Amino acid sequence: MYVNAQKKNDRKTIGNLQLHITYLSSDKLEGRRTGAPGEQLAAAYISTQMQQIGLSPKGDDGFVQTFIVKESREPATACTMTINEDHLLAGSQFIPLPFSAVKSAKGEVIPNVNEPDNIWLINAKEMDTDTHKSMLEQYLQQTQVAAKSGATGVIFYNGKEAPAAVLQWLEQNPPATSIPAVWVNNDVSKKLSADDANGFQINMQVAFKPIKRTGTNVIGYIDNKAPKTIIIGAHYDHLGFGEDKNSTAKVLYHGADDNASGTAALLEIARMLKASHLHNNNFVIIAFSGKQQGLYGSKYFASHSTVDLTQVNYMINLDHIGRLDQAYGLQIGGIGTSPGWAAIIQQAATKETHLVYDSSGVGPSDHTSFYRKNIPVLYFFTGIDSDSLQSDDSADKINYEGTLSVVKLVYDIVDKTNEMNKLAFTSTREPLNTGSTTLSGKMMNK
C-alpha cells in the first residue's frame, strides 16, 4: 500500500518537474536573461506556482524582490553619424566611447591627414600599443592627445574589438574628454582605409541614454511559527541570446539544466514541505535571478533579507541538477560549513546515488552569498555536460528520475534536521574543488 502510494507521489513529482522545466526552457522565455522580458515571464510563472502551492509572499512587493544588476549607458536616439551620404547605425557600425564628450563635430576629412580644427581618423593598427594598458585606456590617451592638438573629434578604425565588447565599455566611467570620440566596426574601417579614398564628409553627434538593468528574485515562505528558518534556493536566470558572452551571434540558450532543473526541484521541494509534518523550521523558498552576472540576486537578498538571517538554520542551493550520471555522481558542496553535515547526509543518503563531497562553502553559485554571512550551506550539482551551457540544453535531455532523487535527498536532509538544534557554522578553505573526496556511503574527508 505504502509502496504504491510512494510510486504515485513520485510519478506526480516527475510530471511536475517535466512541466516546470519544459516551460522555463521553452522558446517563449527567450533564455531568461536577467532583466529581459523572458525573465519576467519566468518570475510570473514561479510566483503563480508558489501561490498555488500555498506559500506566503516574502518579497518586498508580494513574491518579488527587485535589485539593480548594473547601471550603464547606451547610444541615444540622437547619437548619429554620417560618412558622405551613408547614415551609420549606432551600437553596431559606430559606438561612442565611454569617455566621449556629448558634442557634435563635422568636417571634410582627408585620410592620413590629421589637422587642427577637424575630425581626426586614428588607425588602431598603427597605434603604438602599451601592453600594460587596456585598449580603452589607450583610446582615451590618444583622444586626450588629439584634443590638446586641436582636434574637434576622433574616430578610431581598424580596432580588433567586437562591437559587443565596445558596448560593454559603456559600463565604465573613465574621465571625460573635451571632444567626441567614436569607434567604428570592420565594414566602416574598410571604407575609411580604402586605397582610393580621397576624402570624407563626416558629421557626428554623440549622445547617451542612461539604462538601468534590474533583476527579480521570487520569494515564498512557509511560516511554521518556529524559532529557526531554512532557506532553500535556486537561480532561474540563464543566458538569453548570449548577449553577455561578447558574441555577435544571436543564439537562444534554453537553460534546461542551467537552471530550470534546480528551479523545478525548488518548487517541488516547496510543495512537499508545505504538505509535510516538518514544522520545527520556517522555510524561505527563493528563486534567484542575476546569478549569471555574478550572484547579484543572492548577494542582494543576503544584504536585504526579508527574514532575520541570525535565525537562519542553514541554506541549500540547487544548481545544475538535471544531468545525474552515476559515473560522475551527485556533487554536494559545503559539507565543511557545519560539523553536523557529514552525519546528517549519511543518514539521509541512499546507496543508489553515488555522492561526491566537497567541504568548501565557496563556489560559483548562490550558496556563496550565504556562506559569507556565516550560515551553513549545501550545494547540489550534477555536473556540466558539454552542451549544458550551449543552446541545446533542452528539456528532453534532463534525467528526470535523477532529478527526483535529488529532490528526495534534499527533503530527507530537511527531515533529519527537523528535531535538531540550530546547526553550528564553521568556515572552510578556499577556493572550491581542491581536495574533494569521492564517496559512496563513506564519511567524507574534510
Instruction: Write out the three cell numbers for 90.
Output: 549606432
pLDDT at 97 over 60: yes
Confidence band, pLDDT 50/70/90 cuts, at residue 432: very low
- Please state, rounded to an integer, the average pLDDT across all residues of the chain: 92
Please give the class, per CATH, of domain 77-206. alpha beta
Average pLDDT over residues 270-279: 97
Amino acid code (one letter) for 209: K
| Residue with the three cell numbers 519566468 | 42
Residue 312 CB partners (closer than 8 Å, separation 6+): 228, 229, 230, 231, 284, 370, 375
- Give me the pLDDT at residue 430, please: 80
Structural domain spans, the chain: 2-71+213-439, 77-206
User: How far apart, in whole angstroms, are the C-alpha atoms of residue 346 and residue 381?
Assistant: 17
**CATH placement of domain 2-71+213-439:** 3.40.630.10
Amino acid code (one letter) for 235: H
User: How far apart, in whole angstroms, are the C-alpha atoms of residue 167 and residue 72?
Assistant: 10
Among candidates 337, 322, 352, 350, which has minimal Cα distance to 411?
350
User: How far apart, in whole angstroms, are the C-alpha atoms of residue 154 and residue 157?
Assistant: 10
Among 137-151, 228-242, 317-331, 374-388, which stretch is predicted with the lowest mean pLDDT? 374-388
SS3 state at 361: coil
Instruction: Write out the three cell numbers for 260.
Output: 530550470
Q: What is the pLDDT of residues 291-307, one digit of tens each?
A: 998 999 999 999 999 99
Among candidates 230, 396, 395, which has minimal Cα distance to 311?
230
Q: Whole-model pTM?
A: 0.79
Average pLDDT over residues 182-187: 97
Confidence band, pLDDT 50/70/90 cuts, at residue 443: very low
Among candidates 17, 15, 11, which has minimal Cα distance to 268?
17
Percent helix, strand and coil across the chain, each to the nearest 5:
35, 25, 45
- Give me the pLDDT at residue 431, please: 67
- Give me the pLDDT at residue 16, please: 98
Burial annotation 76-104 (CB, 10 A radius, 16+ → b, else e): beebbbebeeeebebebbbbbbbbbbebe
